[in-house]
Structure 1
Amino acid sequence: MPTNNFVESSFWNFDALFQPQQHPARDSHDTFFLQVPSTTKTLPEDYVERVKRVHEFGGYGSRGYEYDWKREEAEKNLLRTHTTAVSSRMLYLLAQEGFAPKRYFSIDRVFRNEAVDRTHLAEFHQIEGLVCDRGLTLGDLIGVFNDFFGRLGMSKLKFKPAYNPYTEPSMEIFGYHEGLKKWVEIGNSGMFRPEMLLPMGLPEDVRVIAWGLSLERPTMILYGVDNIRDLFGHKVDISLIKRNPICRIGIE
């Protein structure tokens, strides 16, 4: 997926993902909002209207959030809090072009206004992926994780039910960190809700499994790093890079 734009509108970052405008993640203490340019004016008008209706009144089996949706909130620019904003753009584009089964993937930087500690950064990398096809289930999603992390040598995984505004069912993924002697959350995932997919124009029988994984935390587990600030940022030990081989990724 093309993830080269760090600045995103609140519409694609939140509203298109069926995340209500009063959600705490949209507060300034969780998100970095831009002052210049503070807003965007380039949104697909017909799609914006459908998103507005599903937020206010529901549809597609949902009652919505029953609040007064505001265009000015959706137009606010921010530093993207997840690359799922790009996923929403790609799925909308797929719906306009005519649906065909697809697999999307990206690794890029995201930003969250949160306190920095041993396992949290305000700026980090997200591994984003989704598969859209007919007949997909949560079992397919779990199978992807077991295969993906198994190939990395991480066999100690567990899954916990979670809540996301844009996925149902949702689950968090945890990996066991031998150094910290505890389970560390390494990602979030789920199946995108009909309230998100159907306003885009996707067929009713299409299902999308999706995940957003941390890049830094699995790396901590693999290399036994117990402080994320030693892995990413100004405190990185350059000798750690020199001692480890380069990984070349081939794209088919």
Structure 2
Amino acid sequence: MAEEAVLRYLENNEEISDSGKFAEERGLSHDDIVNVIKSLNGFRYVDAEDIKKERWVLTEEGRSYTEAGSPEFQVLLAVPVEGIAREDLQKKVEPSIFKIGWSQALKNKWIKMGKPNVSREVQHVEDKVKVVLLRIQNGEAISSEDIEALKKRKLITQQMWKGYSVRKGPNYAAERKKVATDLTRENLQRGDWKELEFKEYNFSAKGQPLEGGHLHPLLKVRRQVQMIFLQMGFEEMPTNNFVESSFWNFDALFQPQQHPARDSHDTFFLKEPSSTKTLPEDYVERVKEVHERGGYGSRGYGYDWKREEANKNLLRTHTTAVSSRMLYLLAQKPFAPKKYYSIDRVFRNEAVDRTHLAEFHQIEGVVCDRGLALGDLIGVLHDFFSRLGMSKLRFKPAYNPYTEPSMEIFSYHEGFKKWVEVGNSGMFRPEMLRPMGLPEDVQVIAWGLSLERPTMILYGIDNIRDLFGHKVDLGLIKRNPICRLGIQYTESTS
């Protein structure tokens, strides 16, 4: 019906100047008219030009007032001629309506707050707000003063209306011809293919989008970081233990049992199984000794170390727990220098916000060798972070229970124009290394950073919940580019 109306009208008229008015005059849906115009325009039956108009429409709140009246009018109607106590008036009107209507009615001097009752100042008024809202709803013009007043109260909003003006096209006909899209066997047998009009090929048309797998931005950056470690000669540590004992996660790292990080407010402890069954007993005794009485030049912490605390199972709070296992295993063999790395999930009992989640990924690098010093750590950090595209580094002294000295790492961010913390680092303490059985001249340097922070910077994401977690938009994963900006590494020539 809509297509016939458009083509028949153009048969005797030069132009449809406004598709909206055309649809309204004929009692047709404007959406149907628009769809027909687009189709006819595609086949050049008509030539269509866009029409855009800005118009005011009612918000949901504004539409509700066209039926019940404005809040101030509703408050006025609720005040009887003899007056009413304010508390009783509030009971007669919805709380949201009373809150708005009370102040507006007082401002309009429709009501008066006396002692003790609220009384009417006027008996009959016109609800101008409702009248103006109805005029807007009917498409009538209103004054700029009324528009400003309603805008301020958020009762109207501006909407862009789109329509078309239409003229005859080069292929115009009063009735659309049905064109064939395929040449069939029956056409050839009947011979009617000679009279058929075939639809033209659109060589510019795009095909159906291909569906396939897409790499998550975190996986892309993880792979790039992994390549950097491998090029620097590092071996990957096994990180398949999400559940760790407190011993490997804390005690082996010379972290005291009274440390705040070991509280349930910061760490996820397991109910089942709640404790570990096996630990290397001789190593446990050496760890207990260094905690209680010290050693290797340290006074220790001077408290009664409890085995039941060390046995508690938890979701690991850092991948340094993996490093402690690997260094212990290294100490059980004839010593050989090693470089280890890991990239995997860790878990913290933290409040979730735009920069924190209860689980995230930690990147860790560990170098174990004889005669290492702080200068070696700084040199390795410059090499590592320069390959990540962060050549401007600064270091700030910090405290960690298991490293001394310790340094926070800052890099200058060209986009933010400021120094941003990118990681933490330090040299593992003798109180951690010697109980493992590592030789006295062996030192270990280590550093760590999150995987999410550099990924958010590289992909321009400012909320970690948009990158990782159950609320991630899958469209982001499909649309994100193959990112190389900021991360630099070279192919090995060996």
TM-score band (shorter)? over 0.9
Work out which of the residue numbers 203, 206, 213 in structure 1 matches 2:442. Answer: 206
Distance 1:173 1:208 in 2: 18
Work out which of the residue numbers 347, 363, 386 in structure 2 matches 1:150. Answer: 386
Matched, 1:83 2:319: yes
The answer (yes or no) to whether the contact 1:178–1:224 under 8 Å persists in 2 is: no
Distance 1:155 1:235 in 2: 34
Work out which of the residue numbers 481, 486, 491 in structure 2 matches 1:244. Answer: 481
One-letter code aligned to 1:163: Y
In the TM superposition, 1:68-217 aligns within 5 A as 68-177=304-413, 182-217=418-453
Note the alpha carbon deviations across 1:55-103, whole angstroms, 9 max, x for none. 0000000000000000000000000000100100000000012211001
- In the TM superposition, what is the alpha-carbon distance from 1:226 to its structure 2 partner? 1.7
One-letter code aligned to 2:345: R
SS in 1 for 2:382: helix
Higher fraction of helix = 2
- In the TM superposition, what is the alpha-carbon distance from 1:156 to its structure 2 partner? 3.6
Cα distance, 1:246–1:180 mapped onto 2, change above 3 Å: closer
SS in 2 for 1:58: coil
Distance 1:192 1:217 in 2: 25
The answer (yes or no) to whether the contact 1:178–1:221 under 8 Å persists in 2 is: no
**Which residue in the other structure is 1:57 paired with?**
293
Matched, 1:229 2:465: yes
Cα distance, 1:232–1:178 mapped onto 2, change above 3 Å: farther
The answer (yes or no) to whether the contact 2:339–2:368 under 8 Å persists in 1 is: yes
Matched, 1:28 2:301: no
SS in 2 for 1:97: coil
Cα distance, 1:178–1:117 mapped onto 2, change above 3 Å: farther
- In the TM superposition, what is the alpha-carbon distance from 1:158 to its structure 2 partner? 2.2
Cα distance, 1:126–1:57 mapped onto 2, change above 3 Å: same
- In the TM superposition, what is the alpha-carbon distance from 1:234 to its structure 2 partner? 2.7
Identity rate, percent: 86
The answer (yes or no) to whether the contact 1:79–1:110 under 8 Å persists in 2 is: yes
Distance 1:41 1:183 in 2: 46
Distance 2:373 2:389 in 1: 25
Note the alpha carbon deviations across 1:75-132, whole angstroms, 9 max, x for none. 0000000010010000000001221100111110000011122222210001111000
Note the alpha carbon deviations across 1:186-240, whole angstroms, 9 max, x for none. 2211000000000110000001001121111122222232222222113334344
Distance 1:156 1:113 in 2: 33
The answer (yes or no) to whether the contact 2:458–2:483 under 8 Å persists in 1 is: no
Distance 1:47 1:13 in 2: 15
Distance 1:216 1:174 in 2: 16
What RMSD, in angstroms, separates the aligned Cα atoms of the two structures?
A: 2.1
SS in 1 for 2:332: helix
Distance 1:223 1:147 in 2: 23
Query: Number of aligned pairs?
Result: 251
Cα distance, 1:89–1:159 mapped onto 2, change above 3 Å: same
- In the TM superposition, what is the alpha-carbon distance from 1:246 to its structure 2 partner? 7.8
One-letter code aligned to 2:482: P
Cα distance, 1:182–1:35 mapped onto 2, change above 3 Å: farther
One-letter code aligned to 1:231: L
Q: Which has the higher contact order (CA 8 A, sep 6+)?
A: 1
- In the TM superposition, what is the alpha-carbon distance from 1:41 to its structure 2 partner? 1.7
Cα distance, 1:240–1:154 mapped onto 2, change above 3 Å: farther
Cα distance, 1:229–1:37 mapped onto 2, change above 3 Å: same
One-letter code aligned to 1:245: I
- In the TM superposition, what is the alpha-carbon distance from 1:178 to its structure 2 partner? 5.2
**Which residue in the other structure is 1:48 paired with?**
284
One-letter code aligned to 1:65: Y
Distance 1:146 1:238 in 2: 36
One-letter code aligned to 2:239: T
The TM-score normalised by the length of structure 1 is: 0.93
